[in-house]
Amino acid sequence: MALIVQKYGGTSVGTVERISAVADRVKRYVDQGDQVVVVVSAMSGETNRLLALSSAINDQPPSRELDVLLSTGEQVTIALLSMALSTRQVPARSYLGSQVKILTDQSHTKARIKAIDSEPVLADLAMGHVAVVAGFQGVDEQGNITTLGRGGSDTTAVAIAAALNADECQIYTDVDGVYTTDPRVVDGATLLASITFEEMLEMASLGSKVLQIRAVEFAGKYQVPLRVLSSFEEGEGTLISIEKNADMEAPLVSGIAFNRDEARLVVRGVPDTPGVAYKVIGPVSDANIEVDVIVQNVAADGTTDLTFTVHRNDIQKSKTIAEVVASELNARDVAIDENICKVSLVGVGMRSHAGIASQMFKTLADVGINIELITTSEIKISVVIEEKFMELAVRSLHSAFGLDAEAS
């Protein structure tokens, strides 16, 4: 008997038939004696339907009310899944974020979990019931509904698994695990049986989109064994674990991640005085915009160019903020480029091996791709390039580092 937290995303609960299939799987676990908590997202399409209603009424809706609106999506799913379990004689009980309860801060649409009071859920499990929990949502100290931001249901699942000290947190999705890179871009992409939290963090943050980065952080921090697997096919998926399996043949590079949702902003001609980076990046971060790559170059004339990348959706807001700061700092101007992408090599094996970076740069040069920005960390090397070269870069690197299916 194990305590399992299962999370099903929007496509996995996208229709009445899919919800029934989820109920069938949950029943199999219950029948074999497991205790099961299920975390679900809104049915696919539902969030967009609600957003369309909202934007038809107010193009800048108050974030508190946006959370009230969007949280109905998961509420519908928990009710329907509980009904589907009930019709299979599996006693089940639905929980809203406010009922679990999942206490968050007050940052509407981007709330962070502060605490989970899992007593009601534990009481249900003790009685042999399945607890069906709405993902993505929480409640602040004042009782206002909050949401955790895109992909927040993964975070909900991992946070509950941590709070309940679950044996495994299973993330069911429409892919069957984590691949060396996106199979839609590279035919020969291969399924990874396991990956470390560190590698997964880099893969997720760089755009592999299988799991939300906060969920992986949470899982790593609380050492929750996390498994990504398909709700459409049988299979073991990918286990995200603390330690890399001691595989003699383990490749240096575990995967190639990429992200085309980035945009670049350059504040040009800033007088090069201490604290410039902070003065520019600070206000952007304060506006809750995640800044990714940051590069600063000093020019010959004593000024400096400060370059950073943000999510493409945030580029106009970032530009507005940067222009105010640029004017205060007597910078020359602010330029943006929305046609960029980021491609990264990720691998724990890179730590102890030199020469990976130069092989990466050579591979890209050989196919004529110009590198615009470079950043490195212990287990990844990222380059920012023109967006149109993205597929070419990923395919070339996947092959060059021996990740293609036929080569492994």
By the criterion CB under 8 A, which residues form the site for a copy of itself?
A: 16, 19-20, 50, 53-54, 56-62, 64-66, 68-69, 71-72, 75-76, 78-80, 82-84, 86-87, 93-94, 96, 98-99, 143-145
Q: What CA–CA distance (Å, rounded) separates 296 from 268?
A: 10
Give min distance, CB of 50 to a copy of itself, in A: 7
> Which is nearer to a copy of itself, 144 or 376 (by Cβ)?
144
Give the nearer residue to a copy of itself in terms of CB position, either 16 or 250.
Answer: 16
For residue 240, which of 205, 199, 183 has the smallest C-alpha distance?
A: 199
Q: How far is the CB of 150 from a copy of itself (least distance, A)?
A: 18
- In whole angstroms, what is the distance from residue 199 CA to residue 192 CA? 11
To the nearest whole angstrom, how small is the minimum distance from the Cβ of residue 114 to a copy of itself?
Answer: 19
- Our CB check for a copy of itself shows the closer of 99 and 376 to be 99
Smallest gap, in angstroms, from Cβ of residue 34 to a copy of itself? 22
Q: How far apart are CA 160 and CA 290, in angstroms?
A: 25
CB-wise, 137 or 344, nearer to a copy of itself?
137
Shortest Å, Cβ 147 to a copy of itself = 12
Of 30 and 403, nearer to a copy of itself (C-beta) is 30
Provide the token pair at 371.
């590198």
Q: In angstroms, what CA-CA distances link 165 with 12, 95, 288, 347?
A: 25, 19, 31, 29
If the CB atoms of residues 133 and 315 are measured against a copy of itself, the closer one turns out to be 133
Q: In the block, which residue shows the tokens 């604290």?
A: 275
Nearer to a copy of itself, 119 or 290 (CB): 119
- Measured from the CB of residue 233, what is the shortest distance to a copy of itself in angstroms? 23
Count, residues in the chain: 408
**Residue 123 or 299: which CB sits closer to a copy of itself?**
123
Q: Which residues are within 8 A (CB) of 53 and not within 5 positions of it... i.e. 6 or more apart?
A: 69
* Tokens standing for residue 245: 């399996």
In contact, 85 and 24? CB cutoff 8 Å:
no
Please spell the DSSP secondary structure of 82-139, one letter per residue: HHHHHTTT--EEEE-HHHHTEEE-S-TTS--EEEE--HHHHHHHHTTPEEEEESSEEE
In angstroms, give the least distance from the CB of 30 to a copy of itself. 17
Minimum CB–partner distance for residue 51 and a copy of itself (Å): 11
What is the residue type of 124? D
Q: Which of 390, 316, 243 is nearest to 382 (CA)?
A: 390
> From the centroid of its chain, how far is CA 134?
18
